[in-house]
């Protein structure tokens, strides 16, 4: 009987860190019931870790708590990647080929390698998303096996400032390695957007505390990704600074106004000593700026509002009263709230909340990536001990000494993977060729 696999994912946001465990059966059934989070302020700015030691301590506590929930030892994790500098950059390569020989996957591998060989100044490539294939200038979804004299491949390089991933590496120096890095907005899009969304045109908007990430899909592929340095906390700070109140008070006021984006219709009541109408004026002004920037992403992607059919809204800032309606009025596109991945069964009602959509999507994506037979958790095993007072004592067999924190025993930072190592996973839905290559 095959053993179930355990998957651990970490998502580091600007306001909180979330860790969760999913269990995958041999039949592919995926469920989650264990989740831990720690809220923080100012240790992560715009999605980029600033205070490594503080965040490292939080992650360590989260992992230890999760270990206690499953009675085991976490041996590796999947880490979400997001932040201010994360964006897409288009790269394409043209190649002449022999028309007498079919196009092979190995050839495409080499061409994609060439597409990533020119570095982007001051940025690292963290993922590659194939966008389009052309054989003899004719677009195709599956070039493998075709014949032609030329092939062109267009890819989206997902890039970020080196500090983004460097600091993520620095976090995991207490003995738990990162199995793989997963670009969070891509994982969310993979899990919650429908095939119709991707084909007809869709903009996924993840409005967090300090950043808003926009991913645009069209004709079945990602065509644009960008991260804006604006989020829900900007609204809170505007109220805090404009009305001279504490941030906690400003946040509570923001949450307790039914529709702060329509200040003229806000009742002029006092919430925690603050005029709701005055607060709404600040909130509406800043939200208007954020919406204008979201709308601008369509133009930057070369897409008109008519070119997309829907906007899917997620993130903590997305729950601002009236935001969904305001987006629809401004961009003239139907807006809906995103839902947790349907591929993952959430067994604990206490954690079945939309605020965890990112870590749930990371778990679902990691479940697709993890090799058969691997797991992120080594469960404790027990053997019967001596009988004492009529009771059999059970002792764990696989207890290990506490992880040393001495520098000489700490693992070296993992070497960065070649950026093209994940391309085959991205192509899996496009290729019909059946093979068993392991692209990890």
What's the pLDDT score for residue 391? 57
Burial class for 425, CB neighbours closer than 10 Å (0-12, 13-18, 19+): middle
> pLDDT over 70 for what percent of the chain?
86
Banded pLDDT at 17 (limits 50, 70, 90) = very high
Banded pLDDT at 427 (limits 50, 70, 90) = very low
Residue 336 has pLDDT above 60, yes or no: yes
How far apart are alpha carbons 11 and 21 in whole angstroms?
12
Q: Which architecture, in CATH terms, is 5-82+163-189+342-424?
A: 2-Layer Sandwich (3.30)
Q: What is the mean pLDDT of residues 270-281?
A: 96
What's the pLDDT score for residue 386? 62
Tokens at residue 418, please?
A: 């070649």
Residue 357 has pLDDT above 70, yes or no: yes
Averaging pLDDT over each range in 45-49, 246-250, 385-389, which range is the top one? 246-250
Q: What is the mean pLDDT of residues 200-212?
A: 95
What's the pLDDT score for residue 49? 84
Question: 87-162 sits in which CATH class?
Answer: alpha beta
Contact 152, 90 (CB under 8 A): no
pLDDT higher for 12 or 47?
A: 12
Question: 193-337 sits in which CATH class?
Answer: alpha beta
Residue 10 has pLDDT above 60, yes or no: yes
The per-residue pLDDT of the chain, averaged, comes to 86
Banded pLDDT at 430 (limits 50, 70, 90) = very low
Q: What is the mean pLDDT of residues 219-230?
A: 95
Q: What is the pTM of this model?
A: 0.85
What's the pLDDT score for residue 411? 45
> What is the distance of C-alpha 242 from the center of its chain?
33
Closest CA to 66 of 54, 76, 55: 76
Residue 415 has pLDDT above 80, yes or no: no
Q: What is the Cβ-side half-sphere exposure of residue 383, based on CA atoms within 13 angstroms?
A: 5
Q: What is the mean pLDDT of residues 255-275?
A: 94
Same fold, 87-162 and 193-337: no
Banded pLDDT at 160 (limits 50, 70, 90) = very high
Banded pLDDT at 407 (limits 50, 70, 90) = very low
Banded pLDDT at 421 (limits 50, 70, 90) = very low
Domain ranges of the chain: 5-82+163-189+342-424, 87-162, 193-337
- In the three-class reduction of DSSP (H, G, I as helix; E, B as strand; rest coil), residue 10 is classed as strand
pLDDT tens across 110-154, in order?
888 887 777 788 888 889 998 899 999 999 888 999 998 999 999
Contact 298, 308 (CB under 8 A): yes
What's the pLDDT score for residue 44? 83
Burial class for 72, CB neighbours closer than 10 Å (0-12, 13-18, 19+): buried
Closest CA to 162 of 120, 123, 188: 123
What's the pLDDT score for residue 390? 57
Contacts of 342 by beta carbon, 8 Å cutoff, 6+ apart? none
Of 94-98, 169-173, 339-343, the poorest mean pLDDT is in 169-173
Residue 383 has pLDDT above 90, yes or no: no
pLDDT tens across 57-72, in order?
999 999 999 999 999 9
């Amino acid at each position: 009987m095959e053993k179930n696999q355990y998957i651990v994912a970490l998502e580091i946001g600007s306001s909180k860190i979330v860790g969760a465990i999913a269990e995958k059966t041999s039949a592919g059934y995926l469920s989650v019931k264990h989740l831990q989070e720690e809220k923080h302020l100012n240790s992560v700015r715009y999605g980029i870790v600033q205070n490594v030691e503080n965040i490292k301590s939080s992650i360590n506590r989260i992992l230890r708590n999760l270990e206690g929930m499953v009675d085991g030892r976490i041996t590796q994790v999947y880490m979400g990647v997001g932040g201010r500098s994360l964006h897409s950059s288009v790269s394409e390569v043209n190649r002449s080929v022999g028309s007498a020989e079919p196009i092979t996957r190995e050839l495409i591998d080499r061409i994609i390698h060439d597409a990533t060989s020119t570095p982007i100044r001051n940025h690292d490539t963290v993922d590659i998303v194939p966008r389009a294939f052309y054989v003899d200038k004719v677009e195709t979804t599956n070039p493998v096996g075709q014949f032609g004299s030329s092939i062109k491949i267009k890819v989206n390089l997902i890039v970020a400032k080196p500090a983004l991933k460097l600091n993520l590496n620095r976090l995991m120096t207490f003995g738990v390695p990162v199995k793989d890095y997963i670009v969070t907005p891509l994982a969310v899009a993979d899990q919650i957007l429908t095939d119709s969304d991707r084909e007809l045109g869709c903009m996924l908007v993840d409005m967090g505390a300090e950043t808003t990430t926009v991913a645009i899909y069209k004709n079945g592929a990602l065509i644009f990704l960008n991260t804006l340095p604006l989020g829900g906390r900007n609204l809170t700070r505007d109220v805090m600074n404009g009305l001279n109140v504490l941030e906690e008070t400003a946040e509570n006021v923001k949450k307790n106004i039914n529709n702060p984006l329509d200040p003229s219709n806000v009742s002029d009541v006092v919430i925690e000593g603050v005029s709701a109408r005055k607060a709404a004026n600040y909130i509406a002004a800043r939200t208007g700026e954020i919406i204008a920037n979201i709308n601008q992403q369509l133009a930057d992607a070369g897409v008109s509002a008519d070119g997309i059919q829907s906007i899917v809204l997620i993130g903590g800032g997305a729950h601002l009263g009236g935001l969904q309606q305001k987006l629809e009025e401004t961009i003239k596109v139907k807006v809906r709230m995103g839902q947790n991945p349907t591929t993952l069964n959430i067994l604990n009602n206490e954690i079945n909340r939309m605020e965890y959509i990112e870590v749930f999507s990371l778990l679902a994506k990691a479940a697709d990536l993890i090799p058969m037979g691997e797991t992120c958790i080594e469960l404790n095993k027990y053997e019967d001990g001596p009988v004492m007072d009529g009771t059999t004592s059970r002792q764990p067999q696989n207890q290990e000494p506490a992880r040393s924190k001495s520098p000489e025993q700490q693992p070296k930072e993992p070497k960065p993977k070649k950026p093209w190592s994940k391309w085959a996973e991205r192509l899996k839905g496009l290729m019909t060729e059946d093979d068993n290559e392991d692209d990890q």
